[in-house]
Structure 1
Amino acid sequence: MRLVASDIDGTILGHDGRISERTVRAFHACRDAGVELVFVTGRPPRWLHPLRDQLGHTGTVICSNGAVVWDLESDRVISSRALALESVFEARRIIQGIRPDALFAAETLDGFHLEPHFLGGNSAGLLDEVTPAPLHETLRPGDSVVKLMAIIREGTADEFLADVSPAVAHLAAATHSAPNMALLELSLPGVNKAVTLAEYARALGLGAEDVVAFGDMPNDIEMLRWAGHGYAMASGHPDAIRAAAHTAPHFDDDGVAQILEARLADLGVRQP
């Protein structure tokens, strides 16, 4: 275990926005033992504050399902892979042809664009910063769209993904990570958490066999398969559990911390 790569939401961060004290201690013990830490998330850079505030992490974060590599210490982008605007608008057209009730939003390197009613009743303060409008009115040439999102109010994310993914595969790679809504996340084809994590590990002189990875949702599947030691949370999506070689205990039981503690003990690392 030379590199720990962990998803955030549903893996180490709960619905209350907190990382447990046990999990914090386990990550600190890894760091103190010389194990590299990188967090690999679907979140955009502006939502990474729990890592800094609760873990004291100021290193690299792989964001937006692998489309962005972010330096948390300097709050700057290290690298990114963006969708062409033509692909964004064409994917939107195709998805709306399949599901006319679909609503859309886009993450760019500079902010968030959303169409009217995309958030429903879950604005969470975002509408204080963003004025909803059709994407073709707010996206401009030069905008780097790192994630296109599509949501429907009826049906499941798995059903939505099965309907949409084959139709847009030539334009964007689709996945999902929200457990309680039918929200799809679309990125540049060939971009996912595993691809960017593999590049990051290689830059450190590490291979898949050196990596312990944790995740819980379909957007983690490629990463869990790639890592030499991929752990899906027992509380995670069935597809993630099937994809991983190992299963970590339930999130509510501090599953990530349990695995890290055991692996550190195997390395002979004394822990508090």
Structure 2
Amino acid sequence: MTNLEPGRRPGSTGGTRDTVAPPAMIVSDLDGTFLSPDGTVSTINADAVVAAQRAGIPVIFATGRPIRWLDVISDLPGIHPMVIASNGAVLYDVTERRIVRSHTIEGSLALQAIRVLRDALPGSRFAFEAGQNFGYEPGYLLTDDAVEDPAVTVGPADELAVGGDHVKVLLRHPSKSSDELAVAATELVGDLLTVTHSSTPGSRLIEISRLGVSKASMLAEVCTDLAIPLSDVAAFGDMPNDLDLLTTVGRPHAMRNAHPLLLDLDLTVVPSNEESGVGRTISGWLE
């Protein structure tokens, strides 16, 4: 069972005032969690990050986004420069714009996995995330396949797979839900790779990382670097790719808008991202 904050009930909802003492570190997902539904940072959340920094509490983001999609927070005052990106495959310094460390999938293993998945899940289409570059096979995108971006390559999946190492392999299916795909893919390649997803209903998309790689695994490395125990870390998330993170830290929080898999756990539930639940909870600690 997940540890809860003292004096809080499973499923309780955090407000603007919280009598619990502040944690030693705060870790938050971005989409569906820290970011508002329109993808921006609310004033409440931005102010809370600055207040936490002033109180000596590092605020670190852990996201499924690749490093090229981090501009939304790159100039946000008060954040810790280390960002856990690509579901834990990359640790990125947003201040110096450099990769500090990464845990990638070798091309030969990616090829082995997509062949197994394609045979068992006909109609699957694949994409390959390298952080700075992205490649996908025709039919992967839900819209027009033509993308004019020098960092994006379109080609046969087998060729893209062996073209280099990958921080993520992505699988999209025409009919199966993300939850169904995650279960099936875990049964098929779970002994070789880590399967998760952070998809909204209808996207039919899963994300595949190197075996053992997750937001939690990279956070453990960061906590070792900063000499902060995981038991004194507070984390916020909303999707299955946050599950390892929330079951690893001492003070886990699920957003009110979270995936049912998270809401079924004994986690402290805070207001939704539309209500700036992360910022309100942080402000409550600091008040």
Under a length normalisation based on structure 1, what TM-score does the superposition of the two structures give? Answer: 0.91
CA–CA separation in structure 1 for the residues paired with 2:161 and 2:207: 17
Q: Is the 8 A contact 1:2 1:211 kept in 2?
A: yes
Matches within 5 A, 1:115-194: 115-121=137-143, 126-129=147-150, 130-140=152-162, 143-180=164-201, 181-194=203-216
Looking at structure 1, the residues matched to 195 and 232 of structure 2 have their Cα atoms a distance apart, in angstroms, of: 28
- 2:93 is the counterpart of 1:61: no
Q: SS of the counterpart of 2:167?
A: strand
Q: Within the alignment, does 1:214 sit opposite 2:236 as a pair?
A: yes
User: What is the CA distance between 1:54 and its match in structure 2?
Assistant: 4.5
CA distance in 2, matches of 1:34, 1:242: 33
Higher relative contact order (CA 8 A, sep 6+): 2
Looking at structure 2, the residues matched to 122 and 16 of structure 1 have their Cα atoms a distance apart, in angstroms, of 23
Among 96, 103, 107, the alignment partner of 1:81 is: 103
Determine the C-alpha separation between the residues in 1 that align with 2:62 and 2:195.
Answer: 17
Structure 1 portions without partners, runs of 5+: 266-272
Structure-to-structure mapping, 1:20-31, within 5 angstroms: 20-31=42-53
Whether the 8 Å contact between 1:212 and 1:230 is mirrored in structure 2 is yes
The share of aligned pairs that are identical, in percent, is 33
* Stretches (4+) displaced over 3 A: 53-58, 125-129, 138-141
Aligned 8 A contact 1:42 1:63 in 2: yes
CA 1:83/1:243 → structure 2, altered by over 3 Å: closer, same or farther?
farther
> Do the aligned residues in 2 keep the contact of 1:221 with 1:243 (CA within 8 Å)?
no
- The one of 264, 277, 282 aligned to 1:242: 264
Question: 5 Å matches for 1:35-50?
Answer: 35-50=57-72
Q: Is the 8 A contact 1:26 1:257 kept in 2?
A: yes
1:241 partner letter: L
2:245 counterpart SS class: helix
TM-aligned CA deviation for residue 242 of structure 1: 2.8
For the residues of structure 2 that align with 1:153 and 1:178, how far apart are their CA atoms? Answer: 14
Q: Which moved more, 1:109-118 or 1:191-200?
A: 109-118
Alpha-carbon offset, residue 251 of structure 1 = 1.7
Q: Cα offset for 1:86?
A: 1.5
Normalising by structure 2, we get a TM-score of 0.86
Asked whether the 8 Å contact 1:233–1:250 carries over to 2, the reply is yes
Query: C-alpha distance in 2, partners of 1:111/1:8?
Result: 21
Q: Is 2:223 the counterpart of 1:201?
A: yes
CA distance in structure 2 between the aligned counterparts of 1:65 and 1:7, rounded to whole angstroms = 10
Deviates more, 1:113-122 or 1:173-182: 113-122
Superposed displacement of residue 57, structure 1:
4.0
Deviation of 1:131 after TM superposition, in Å, equals 3.5
Q: Residue 34 of structure 2 aligns to a residue in which SS?
A: coil
1:2 shift after superposition: 1.3
Q: Distance in 2 between matches of 1:69 and 1:221?
A: 19
Q: Secondary structure at the match of 1:35?
A: coil
State the superposition RMSD in angstroms.
Answer: 1.8
